[in-house]
Amino acid sequence: MLQGFLQYVINSLQWGSFYALIAVGYTLVYGVLLLINFAHGDIFMVGAYIAFFVSSMLIAELSGFASGWMLVAMAVPLTMLLTACVGVTLERVAYRPLRKKGAHRLYVVITALMCGLILENGNLALLGASRKKFPEMVDTVVLNIGGASITNLKLMVIFAAIGVFLFLHWIVTKTKLGMAMRAVSFDKFAVPLMGIPLNTVIVFTFILGSGFAGLAGMLFAMSYPILEPYMGALIGWKAFIAAVVGGIGDIRGAFIGGFLLAFIEIGVASVLPSSFRDLFAFSILLVILWMKPTGLFGIAKTTKI
């Protein structure tokens, strides 16, 4: 019984880490721009594909010289950087022109939805419908803790999520840039008057959000090594819902929401038939939103982030 519970906690922590890492991207962009970046799930998908190409290249070039973990250590920053470029490109091409023209937020959200579909179908057209298999970079070691199994990969995913949370918390609360982000979130129109470069702050937000989507993509591809163009759609939606339940705009909220969703989902799937998984998971979240419409950590209409 106890070992079953321990296994459940480990499974949920790993699955929740992916939700949390993606939810952070929604929350950051929403916090600064009040924009729901619906393309974010697909940026995660692009991140996984970038990780695939980066890793394949590194393995082909360096497999003789470097160990698996060294390759991972090289692939992670490269993937994060390239995925961040994709996020920033989207901002440049799709969102900034609309912002400059003073378009209503609704149109920007619709543009984001379109961008997501473009990424999915662009991938389908460019790379074809066949799935890609992510190369195995490190040997999986199965560890046994009190009867529950955990792999080195799962541990890495969980630690990465915790690390990202601490890092972001530090950025937002302790650095000048974080202060600028909070300022933009507070009043977008007054901020440029104070000499804060608005666009730089926004670009930086996209770099952070997309970078961590890239990290999530890489870790996801290592854990579930089969890539397909639509892999980001469903998990993106769910991470968005997790962010809303946690209180969108709040980094703690994104993480708590992500883990909460994973605990409910995996819990439901382990007791009930899996067809009830999403039904129950989202019904529970709905109940939470009834009681607290702004999400667990959300505060209505004040500074977000």
Partner 1 sequence: MRKIVFTALLVLLFAAQAIAADTIKIGFNIPLTGDIPKVGEASKFAAEMLKEDINGAGGLDVGGTKYMLDFIYEDNESKAESAVNVALKLIERDQVVAIVGPNSSKQAVPAGGTCDDNQTPMVTPWSTNPDTTLDRPWVFRAAFLDPFQGPVVANFAEKTFGAKTAAVIYDVSNDYSKGLAEIFQQVWEGKKGAGSVVAFESHGTKDQDFSAQLSTIVAAKPDFIFVPDNYNQVALIIKQARQLGYKGPFMGSDAWGSAELMTLCGDDCAGQYFSTHYAAAGATGKTKEFIDRYSAKYGYTPDDVAALTWDATRLVLQAIQEAGKVESDVRKERKAIREAMSKIQKFEGITGTMSFDEQGDPIKCAVVVKISPKGEFEFTESVCPQ
Beta carbon of residue 20, minimum distance to partner 1 (angstroms, whole number): 14
Q: How far apart are CA 197 and CA 96, in angstroms?
A: 14
Asked if residue 41 lies in contact with residue 240, where contact means CB atoms within 8 angstroms, the answer is yes
Would you count residue 146 as binding partner 1 (CB under 8 A)? no
Would you count residue 140 as binding partner 1 (CB under 8 A)? yes
Q: Which residue has the tokens 């608005």?
A: 198
Beta carbon of residue 274, minimum distance to partner 1 (angstroms, whole number): 5
Member of 110, 252, 267, 282 binding partner 1 (CB under 8 A): 267
Would you count residue 149 as binding partner 1 (CB under 8 A)? yes
Member of 93, 117, 142, 190 binding partner 1 (CB under 8 A): 142
- Please state the length of the chain: 305
Q: Which residues contact 144 (CB under 8 A, 6 or more apart)?
A: 150
Q: How far apart are CA 157 and CA 23, in angstroms?
A: 15
- Please identify, using beta-carbon distances, which residue of 13 and 86 lies nearer to partner 1: 13
Q: Which class for 288: exposed (0-12), middle (13-18), buried (19 or more C-beta within 10 A)?
A: middle
The stretch among 62-70, 90-98, 140-148, 193-201 that binds partner 1 (CB under 8 A) is 140-148
Q: Which of 179, 262, 217, 197 is nearest to 75 (CA)?
A: 217
Chain centre distance of CA 42: 10
Would you count residue 273 as binding partner 1 (CB under 8 A)? yes
Please compute Rg for the chain using Cα positions.
Answer: 19
Region 11-30 residues binding partner 1, contact defined as CB under 8 A: 11, 14-15
Q: Rule CB under 8 A: which residues touch partner 1?
A: 3-4, 7-8, 11, 14-15, 124, 128-131, 133, 136, 140, 142, 144, 149, 151, 153-154, 224-226, 228, 231, 234-235, 265-267, 269-270, 273-275, 277-278
